[in-house]
Amino acid sequence: MQTELSKTLGVEHAVFGFTPFPAVAAAISRAGGFGVLGAVRYTAPDDLKRDLDWIEAHVDGKPYGLDVVMPAKKVEGVTEAEVEAMIPEGHRQFVKDTLAKYGVPELAEGEASGWRITGWMEQVARTQLDVAFDYPIRLLANALGSPPADVVDRAHEQDVLVAALAGSARHAVKHRDAGIDIVVAQGYEAGGHTGEIATMVLTPEVVDAVAPLPVLAAGGIGSGQQVAAALSLGAQGVWLGSMWLTTTEADLSSPAVTRKLLAAGSGDTVRSRALTGKPARQLRTEWTDAWDDPSGPGTLPMPLQGLLVAEALTRIQKYEVAPLLGTPVGQIVGRMTSERSVQAVFDDLTRGFEQAVDRINRIAGRSGT
């Protein structure tokens, strides 16, 4: 599964694996792909440094990258406390009422909530970059559009390629004009923040729009046959995220989440603003249903929604309140039916890819007779 891009980066397979787990990122690179560590949860620079040190020690010299979240629009001079003060009291009450309805216990006194939306703020992402550029990362990806021009220049000065996710050809052209090296065409099927155009339609549109820039296809890809399809559409690789959530190297905080992922079908996800305020594909739960119900207050824009629900999600996860418990994941969840190692996933991808290529070769041979 080699392409010009994979050869440039020195990887055996043109499979780019996004994950929040250092062990998974390292295993992806060791298996011949390109591991990309998601940095959004690292609000403390020392925590990111610790995990990059770990990857360096376990990646066997193979290349890897980092994914940050830098919003396209920057708000100057506003603190997190000032942003949080903008949350309406009615929305806070809705969260309290929903948690009470399902009997979700309070956190212990003095116990802080888990992940906060601060990782979406540009100043936090810049501290992450200050750490990351001290390591031999080969790729910097941004999930919310093109990074600021000075960040792109800084990456290029250090021989780091820059990638940005796009949900439309129009967005992809903006990335190209901003000096981005790789465009990730993220289809409707993908987990997390995603647009409304399916991967099969989006990929060739983006390939044509930004040629000759390399394009990675993302969304609904979890088999070697689908990798072959993506390359047939003109992509130079694939970007996989959801597939790694049920690998044995993953460190999901809740076994109940893993069980829900393994039991879910491809129709059990929903694009909802309940998590961050922007449409993000995730497991459909009674929590997402409550926020999407027209009788409710509706979600708030980013970053208010993320700040509003941070503690609630921590409580739901800590106490494993099954009806409310979810996670971002794509429609490919229907293929995630067992826990496997990252290497086993790659073995399946390469086997399926070879079968698909052989099938197309046979069809081409028959068509010529």
pLDDT in tens, 118-131: 555 677 888 999 99
In the block, which residue shows the tokens 């729009």?
209
Helix axis angle, 149-157 to 122-132, nearest 10°: 0
Q: With 60 as the cut, is the pLDDT of residue 69 above it? A: yes
**DSSP sequence for 14-50:** -EEEEES-HHHHHHHHHTTSEEEEE-TT--SHHHHHH
Instruction: Please list the alpha-helical segments (H only) found in the chain.
Output: 4-9, 22-30, 45-58, 80-84, 89-101, 122-132, 149-157, 169-177, 199-210, 224-232, 255-263, 286-292, 304-318, 342-367
Average pLDDT, the chain: 92
The string of pLDDT tens digits covering residues 252-287 is 878 999 999 999 999 999 999 999 898 999 999 999
In whole angstroms, what is the distance from residue 167 CA to residue 236 CA?
17
Question: What is the per-residue pLDDT for 366?
Answer: 59
Q: Return left, alpha or beta for 277; rule: phi > 0 is left, psi -120 to 50 is alpha, else beta.
A: left
Question: What is the per-residue pLDDT for 43?
Answer: 82
CA atoms within 13 A on the CB side of 12: 11
User: Cβ distance 67 to 36 under 8 Å?
Assistant: yes
**Which residue did the predictor score with more confidence, 336 or 111?**
336
Q: With 70 as the cut, is the pLDDT of residue 117 above it? A: no
Mean local confidence (pLDDT), 292-308? 91
Residues above pLDDT 90, as percent of the chain: 80
Q: With 60 as the cut, is the pLDDT of residue 115 above it? A: no
Provide the pLDDT confidence category of residue 74 given band limits of 50, 70 and 90: low
66 beta partners: 37, 140
Burial class (CB in 10 A: 0-12, 13-18, 19+), 137: buried
For residue 290, give the amino acid letter: A
Q: With 80 as the cut, is the pLDDT of residue 71 above it? A: no
User: Cβ distance 302 to 276 under 8 Å?
Assistant: yes
In whole angstroms, what is the distance from residue 289 CA to residue 287 CA?
5
Provide the pLDDT confidence category of residue 368 given band limits of 50, 70 and 90: very low
Collect contacts of 4-11 with beta carbons under 8 A, ≥24 apart: 4/214, 4/236, 5/182, 5/214, 5/216, 5/236, 5/237, 6/34, 6/236, 6/237, 9/34, 9/63, 9/138, 9/139, 9/161, 10/62, 10/63, 11/62, 11/63
Question: What is the per-residue pLDDT for 73?
Answer: 58
Tokens of 351: 């086997």
The string of pLDDT tens digits covering residues 130-170 is 999 999 999 999 987 888 999 999 999 999 999 999 999 99
In whole angstroms, what is the distance from residue 270 CA to residue 188 CA?
11
Question: What is the per-residue pLDDT for 369?
Answer: 39
Q: With 50 as the cut, is the pLDDT of residue 329 above it? A: yes
Q: With 50 as the cut, is the pLDDT of residue 7 above it? A: yes
Mean local confidence (pLDDT), 343-365? 95
**DSSP sequence for 64-78:** EEEEE---SS--TT-
Q: With 50 as the cut, is the pLDDT of residue 251 above it? A: yes
Provide the pLDDT confidence category of residue 109 given band limits of 50, 70 and 90: confident
Provide the pLDDT confidence category of residue 235 given band limits of 50, 70 and 90: very high
Mean local confidence (pLDDT), 333-341? 96
For 249, list phi and psi in degrees, rounded to 5: -80, -15
Of 175, 232, 172, residue with least CA distance to 206: 172
Residues above pLDDT 70, as percent of the chain: 94
For 214, list phi and psi in degrees, rounded to 5: -70, 145
Residue 239 in 3-state DSSP? Answer: strand
